[in-house]
Amino acid sequence: MKFGTSGLRGLSVDLKGRASALYATAFARHLLESGQAKAGDPIFIGRDFRDSSPEISATCIGALARAGFRPVDCGTLPTPALALYSLQHGAASLMITGSHIPADRNGIKFYRPDGEIAKQDETAISSFADAIGGADQAIDEARGTAEDQSGPCEELFFERNAALLPGGALSGLKVGVYQHSTVARDLLVRVLLHYGADVVPLGRSETFIPVDTEAVSEDTIALLRGWTAEHRLDTIVSADGDGDRPLVSNETGEPLRGDLLGLIAANFLEAKVVVTPVTSNSGIEAAGSFAVVRTRVGSPYVIAGMDEAVAGGKNQVMGFEANGGLLTATPFTINGQEALPLPTRDSFLPILSTLYLAATQKKPLSAVAAAYRMPVAAADRLENFPVETSARLMTHLRQSDTNLAAFLDPIGQVAAKSDIDGLRVTLADRRIIHFRPSGNAPEMRCYVEAETEEGARSLLRQGLDTIKDWAKAN
C-alpha cells in the first residue's frame, strides 16, 4: 500500500482485511494524538460501487469503532458529497474508492474534520501504520456495522447543487448522462432534471467500469459519439467512479478537456485566485481576470496552494486539476447565495457551469470551447511501465541539459524547462512536451500542447515512442 496523488491505493486483494484495518486504525491514532478528534466523535464512511468496497468499508468501520470512534455509514455516494457532509458536522471521514483505476484495485481517501488530508498527514498515518503493524503483528480484522445516514448526506449535496443556477437554467438542453458505475449517476440525473434539462440516462452498469475522465479511452469516445447521434443530444455528462472528476462531451460526442471545464468554472465563480497543477493548459493564464498559481500534480498540492493564498489574505480562491475536479477554499456568492468552501475535488459544479454557459450563449459546446482559443492539448500514458525505469529516465534527463537535448533531438530544440512535477519542456517552436511518472501506478505519462489537433497528436506519438525507445536501449 502507498499514498499516491489522492489517497491510499493498491490491489483490492491486498487492501482487504489486514491492510484496511491497519490504515483505518493508523488514521484514528493520528486524529486522536494530533488533537483533531477525540474518542466518541462520529466518523463518516462512504464507498464506490467496486465489488471490494463493501468489505473494505465494513473492515474500516470495525477498526474505527475499536479505536474509540462512532462510525456512520453514508453508503455509496460521490466523494464531494461525503466531504461536504463531514465538513458540516466537523468530523473526519473515509471514502473507499479507487477512483478511475481498474476494478481489481481500490483505495481509501482520508479527510480530517477540516477537509482533505495533507502530505504531512499521509506521512504521519504511514508512520503509525508501520508502528502498529510492524514485525507482522496481529491486527484485528473483524468487520463492523454503523448507523446509516446516506439519505441526509445525499440530500445536503443535492441542495448545494440545486442552488448554483437560476431555476430552469438548463431548459432546452438535451443532456445524456453516461451512468456506467459512477456513484454520481443518480444525483446527476436528479440535479439536471431540477434545472429543466431533458435528460437521457445511458449505459448504466452493475459491473464496475473504470472511466478515466482525464484520458478518455477510444472505446468510451465511440460510445459517446454513437449515443449523441442516436439521441440527438447537445452533450453527454458523466464522472469517474467516485464522482469527483467530471466528463462533458460536446454535441458530436467529443470530450472537452478537464482543465477547460475548470477554467469555465473559474470564470463562472468570478474567481480571483486559481490554483492548478503544471499539467493544466498553458493558456489558462490569459483566459481570465484571475491570478494563477501552478503546483505539482495531486489535490494535496492544490489544496496547499489554496491555503497559502488564503493565508496571504486573498479571497475568492479556488483550484482545479487537469482532470476538471474543482475545489473551493473560500466562500463564493453564486446565484445570490453563499456557497461554503468545499476543498476537495467536485465534478458537479464544473459540469453545471459549463452547461449553463452553453445554455445562456445558445451555442453548441464545440463553439463554446473554441472561443477560448486554448492551445490544443493531449495526454496519454504507457501502462505497465516499471517504476524503476521511470525513475532512471527522469534521473537521466535531469542529470544534464546535454542529456535532455539529446533525448529530445528527434522532436525539437529545448527552449525552456520546468521541474515542478516531472519535466515540462517548452520547445523552440513553442510546442510543449511534459514527461511525468504516475504517482500511484506503474505508468509513464506524457502531456503535450501544440497549435493544431494533428500537431498535438503527432507530438504525443513522438513523445511516447521516444520514451519506449530509450527504455529498450537502457
Q: Rounded distance, CA 413 to CA 406, Å? A: 9
The whole-number pLDDT of residue 215 equals 80
Q: Rounded distance, CA 69 to CA 87, Å? A: 17
Q: Is the pLDDT of residue 135 over 70?
A: no
On the question of a common fold for 2-150 and 162-370, the answer reads yes
Q: What is the mean pLDDT of residues 197-221?
A: 93
Band the pLDDT of 136: cuts 50, 70, 90. low
Q: Is the pLDDT of residue 398 over 70?
A: yes
Q: What is the mean pLDDT of residues 358-362?
A: 96
The whole-number pLDDT of residue 250 equals 98
Q: Rounded distance, CA 89 to CA 127, Å? A: 28
Q: Is the pLDDT of residue 440 over 90?
A: no
Q: What are phi and psi of 17, to 5 degrees?
A: 70, -120
The whole-number pLDDT of residue 5 equals 66
Domain ranges across the chain: 2-150, 162-370, 376-473
Q: What is the percent of the chain with per-residue pLDDT over 70, rounded to a whole number? A: 98
384 against 350, higher pLDDT? 350
Active site residue 99: yes
The amino acid at residue 342 is L
Q: What does pLDDT average to over the chain? A: 94
Fold that domain 376-473 belongs to in CATH:
TATA-Binding Protein (3.30.310)
Q: Is the pLDDT of residue 226 over 80?
A: yes
Band the pLDDT of 318: cuts 50, 70, 90. very high
Q: Is the pLDDT of residue 101 over 90?
A: no
The whole-number pLDDT of residue 380 equals 87
Q: Is the dihedral of CA 125, 126, 130, 131 positive or negative?
A: negative
Q: What is the mean pLDDT of residues 55-71?
A: 97
Q: Is the pLDDT of residue 149 over 90?
A: yes
Complete DSSP assignment for 333-383: EETTEEEPPEEEEESHHHHHHHHHHHHHHT--HHHHHHTT-PPEEEEEEET
Q: Rounded distance, CA 320 to CA 280, Å? A: 9
The one catalytic residue among 99, 238, 249, 353? 99
| pLDDT tens digits along 231-265 | 999 999 999 999 999 999 999 999 999 999 999 99
Least confident of 138-142, 293-297, 359-363: 138-142
DSSP secondary-structure letter at 119? H
Q: Is the pLDDT of residue 2 over 80?
A: no
Band the pLDDT of 379: cuts 50, 70, 90. confident
- Region 162-370: CATH code: 3.40.120.10
The whole-number pLDDT of residue 425 equals 96
Element (H, E) at 216: none
Band the pLDDT of 3: cuts 50, 70, 90. confident
Q: What is the mean pLDDT of residues 349-374?
A: 96
Domain 2-150 part of CATH 3.65.10.10: no
Least confident of 84-98, 129-143, 297-311: 129-143
